[in-house]
């Protein structure tokens, strides 16, 4: 209990401090929610404030495009324009009825990160466990990841994106009808670079090194404009060399608690790879105000690796092999392209149409050899897997102002994705060699398709200058069809109606103080792989290393939720928010362990209900907002406390999806007055602990502490150097899992060490 007490003390202190922040006197200025500020609202394509009806969003409107570069004598006007653009993120968070946090490109690239997960781990309300991205501590499908407002196609991961290719990141806590409602925990929308305001030529070279890896990379950003035509190209290339050590143990106890098994594992993985990506975009603006844009993204990955693992048995039965040596080779290519036409109609209406295509292919070759304690080979397994993914999407929306104070948006979202996969496994038997390893030979082929149909409508109603209401309704249906060599055609259909309501109320006479409320209906659809009844066999089949297969009868999880938030905004981008949320989930999906045909099999099942609650606090402000004589330091802090309870799993610690109970991030940024040097740091904490994952299974995850520091030196206006130290505390990651029944307990533990990493980058503009 003593380990958790500081978390609650910190939470209580923040809750006590919140009213004090809210009562801080604000500088005298016209209230943001007065109708007199309508001219400023015209600069925001986002949802309007309650002060006036929402205009139809139009990124192509000439009145919103940046003005041409000013002559040399008008530098101040140019700086004013940049300042207004930078405030649009804060305006969207303050004035949109639907709650949203917008992170701009400057914040994304502050630390010079080469992977997007390193950026996300510092953002409010987000935690990263390995490559699993979580909101409210929940991952594995509860958190929706979107790319330009659409769900990424199969075969695509955000690791294929360089942070330099991203224009902004939107953190959406409560669902809206325009986006898919597969967002029980929330949505992270990654928007690629689109706008072209000025000619730009920028090259970034990065070198990073740690005790276990080396990485070299370069990024390119080019854009230009010629009248009503503009274009941009972003690209990156990097190579890496990895050497990751591994340590693990396995222990067993009988029903009386006496030890009867102990094994230890030590291994090393060495790999090298290359990654290349490019994203071109073309934009046309026509005389009638229509716009046409073409955007694409292409990515290619190559990775090769070798592994060497050794197993030592102190007590209990021997392992299938004492030494294993593996070779693997991965090749993956992915492409996505879309065409977007925005047609302006009469009386402020607008039609927005987008058609997109994607294609990806990958192959994975694995060769595994096993040797017994006498160094005699007793296993040779070759596994070759290849897959092709293709998809088509067609989306559209019609927006129009209707009666006074109302803005209507309606549209559709359709698409189909197909996947063909071949998997061939060949085992070579070694008769007479002890211990004998069973040989499995298989040739699995399957085809799967996912058809998506969705329609939505939403209305934003400005009831009064202080009060606005958002109402939305979305219907979304999924049909998954699959057929393979080992099973007949499987078809799974599901559909969900999602009514949504959000409201924003600004307190009269109290500038920047407001409250939000949201009622949502969201869901989590099964992944295609969870529905396909293919079996993946393990070499040593037992409860802690079972076979895996899908469940074609799996149904979506449905969630009813409520969110409430208190917010305070000051000048110069300062803000503070305290929010709470609850979700009740039915048809909860968890992995079940069953003994089928003499083998242990893990498969997904629907099992009862679950409840989750979250409390979230975030604040950011320049210290000079409250202390004018202070040095130019920007402060930011966010924290999350999460609780959950799964009815079908006995407690204690029966949390959802290994939910992170507590997380917090503290950051400081210092800017020299002349802007020559900027430096800062970020400290993140993520708690761990024991989780009961099933009736007779649990898992343990260690807490993690991250400390990152950066410094940016602007040598000239167009040349700068960035140095980053990451993972300074270099904690080891320890994961444990246990299986227990009336016969005893089996416990597995593995440790992954880590070291501090250093990264240096040169950034040049031409």
Q: Each residue of 97-132: pLDDT tens digit?
A: 888 899 998 899 889 888 898 899 999 989 988 778
CB atoms within 10 A of CB 405: 17
Which helix (H) or strand (E) covers residue 91, if one does?
helix 75-95
Instruction: Spell out the residues 6+ positions from residue 751 whose beta carbon is closer than 8 angstroms to its own.
Output: 246, 247, 248, 732, 733, 734
pLDDT score, position 36: 36
Q: Higher confidence at residue 216 or residue 593?
A: 216
Q: Could you give the residue ranges of the DSSP H alpha helices within 345-432?
A: none
739 - beta bridge partners?
697, 746
Highest-scoring range by mean pLDDT, 2-6, 210-214, 234-238, 622-626: 234-238
CB 659 within 8 A of CB 701: no
Distance from C-alpha of 97 to C-alpha of 47, rounded to nearest angstrom: 7
CB 509 within 8 A of CB 163: no
Q: Could you give the residue ranges of the DSSP H alpha helices within 567-691?
A: none
Q: How far separated are the first and last CA of the chain, in Å rounded?
A: 58
Q: What is the pLDDT of residues 381-401, one digit of tens each?
A: 999 999 999 999 999 999 999
Distance from C-alpha of 170 to C-alpha of 161, rounded to nearest angstrom: 16
Q: Which CATH class is domain 5-225+236-765?
A: mainly beta
Q: Which pTM was predicted? A: 0.81
Hey, what's the torsion of the CAs at 91, 100, 641, 755, to 10 degrees?
Answer: -90
Distance from C-alpha of 168 to C-alpha of 69, rounded to nearest angstrom: 23
Across 746-753, average pLDDT: 92
pLDDT score, position 200: 87
CB atoms within 10 A of CB 188: 25
Across 415-444, average pLDDT: 90
Which helix (H) or strand (E) covers residue 386, if one does?
strand 377-401
Mean per-residue pLDDT of the chain: 86
Sign for the pseudo-dihedral over CA of 427, 431, 436, 438: positive
Distance from C-alpha of 372 to C-alpha of 434, rounded to nearest angstrom: 7
CB 544 within 8 A of CB 748: yes
Distance from C-alpha of 175 to C-alpha of 182, rounded to nearest angstrom: 9
CB atoms within 10 A of CB 74: 11
Complete DSSP assignment for 504-530: EEEPTTSTTEEEEEEEEEEEEPPPHHH
Per-residue pLDDT at 1 exceeds 80: no
Count Cα atoms within 13 angstroms, Cβ side, for 571: 11
């Amino acid at each position: 209990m003593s380990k958790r007490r500081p978390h609650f003390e910190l939470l209580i202190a923040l809750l006590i401090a919140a009213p004090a922040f809210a009562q801080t006197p604000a500088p005298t200025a016209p209230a943001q929610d007065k109708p007199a500020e309508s001219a400023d609202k015209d600069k925001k394509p986002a949802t309007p404030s309650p002060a006036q009806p929402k205009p139809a969003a139009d990124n192509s409107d000439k009145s919103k495009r940046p003005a041409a570069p000013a002559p040399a004598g008008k530098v101040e006007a140019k700086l004013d324009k940049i300042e207004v653009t930078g405030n649009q993120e804060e305006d969207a968070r303050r004035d949109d009825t639907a709650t949203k946090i917008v992170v701009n490109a400057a914040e994304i690239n502050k630390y010079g990160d080469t992977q997007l997960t390193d950026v996300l781990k510092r953002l409010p309300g987000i935690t990263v466990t390995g490559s699993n991205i979580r909101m409210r501590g929940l991952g594995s499908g509860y958190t929706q990841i979107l790319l330009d407002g659409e769900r990424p196609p199969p075969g695509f991961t955000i690791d294929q994106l360089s942070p330099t290719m991203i224009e902004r990141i939107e953190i959406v806590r409560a669902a809206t009808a325009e986006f898919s409602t597969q967002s029980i925990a929330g949505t992270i929308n990654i928007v690629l670079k689109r706008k072209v305001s000025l000619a730009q030529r920028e090259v970034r070279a990065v070198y990073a090194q740690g005790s276990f890896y080396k990485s070299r990379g370069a990024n390119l950003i080019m854009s230009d404009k010629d009248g009503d035509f503009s274009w941009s190209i972003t690209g990156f290339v990097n190579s890496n060399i990895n050497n990751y050590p591994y340590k693990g143990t396995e222990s067993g106890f009988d029903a009386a608690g006496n030890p009867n098994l102990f094994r230890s594992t030590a291994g090393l993985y060495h790999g090298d790879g290359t990654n290349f990506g490019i994203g071109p975009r073309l934009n046309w603006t026509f005389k009638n105000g229509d716009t046409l844009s073409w955007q694409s993204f292409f990515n290619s990955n190559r990775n090769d690796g070798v592994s060497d693992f050794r197993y030592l048995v102190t007590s209990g039965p021997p392992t299938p092999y004492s030494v294993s040596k593996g070779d693997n080779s991965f090749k993956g290519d992915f492409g996505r392209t879309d065409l977007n036409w925005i047609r302006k109609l009469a009386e402020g209406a607008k039609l927005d149409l987008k058609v997109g295509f994607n294609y990806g292919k990958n192959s994975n070759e694995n060769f595994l050899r096993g040797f017994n304690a006498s160094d005699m080979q007793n296993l040779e397994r070759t596994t070759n897997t290849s897959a092709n993914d293709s998809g088509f999407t067609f989306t559209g929306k019609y927006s129009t102002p209707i009666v006074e104070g109302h803005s209507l948006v309606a549209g559709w979202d359709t698409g189909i994705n197909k996947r063909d996969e071949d998997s061939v496994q060949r085992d070579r038997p070694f008769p007479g060699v002890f211990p004998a390893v069973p040989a499995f030979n298989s040739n699995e082929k399957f085809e799967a398709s996912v058809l998506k149909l969705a329609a939505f409508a939403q209305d934003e109603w400005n009831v009064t200058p202080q009060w606005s209401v958002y109402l939305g309704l979305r219907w979304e249906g999924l049909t998954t069809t699959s057929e393979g060599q080992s099973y007949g055609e499987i078809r799974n259909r599901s559909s969900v109606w999602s009514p949504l309501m959000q409201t924003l109320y600004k307190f009269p006479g109290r500038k920047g103080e407001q409250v939000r409320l949201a009622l949502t209906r969201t869901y989590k659809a099964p992944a295609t792989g969870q529905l396909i009844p293919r079996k993946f066999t393990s070499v040593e089949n037992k409860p802690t290393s079972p076979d895996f297969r899908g469940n074609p009868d799996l149904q979506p999880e449905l969630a009813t939720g409520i969110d409430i938030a208190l917010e305070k905004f000051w000048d110069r981008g300062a803000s503070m928010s305290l929010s709470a949320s609850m979700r009740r989930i039915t048809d909860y999906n968890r992995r079940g362990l069953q003994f089928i045909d003499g083998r242990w099999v893990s498969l997904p099942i629907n099992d009862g209900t679950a409840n989750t609650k979250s409390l979230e606090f975030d604040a950011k402000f320049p210290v000079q907002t409250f202390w004018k004589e202070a040095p130019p330091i920007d402060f930011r802090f966010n924290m999350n406390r999460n609780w959950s309870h799964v009815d079908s799993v006995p407690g204690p610690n029966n949390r959802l999806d290994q939910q992170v109970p507590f997380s917090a991030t503290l950051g400081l940024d210092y800017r020299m007055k002349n802007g020559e040097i900027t430096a800062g740091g970020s400290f993140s904490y993520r708690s761990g602990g024991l989780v009961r994952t099933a009736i007779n299974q649990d898992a343990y995850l260690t807490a993690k502490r991250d400390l990152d520091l950066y410094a940016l030196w602007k040598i000239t206006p167009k040349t700068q150097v960035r140095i980053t130290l990451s993972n300074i505390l270099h904690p080891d990651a320890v994961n444990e899992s246990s299986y227990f029944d009336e016969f005893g307990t089996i416990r597995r533990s593995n440790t992954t060490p880590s070291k501090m990493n250093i990264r240096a980058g040169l950034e040049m503009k031409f």
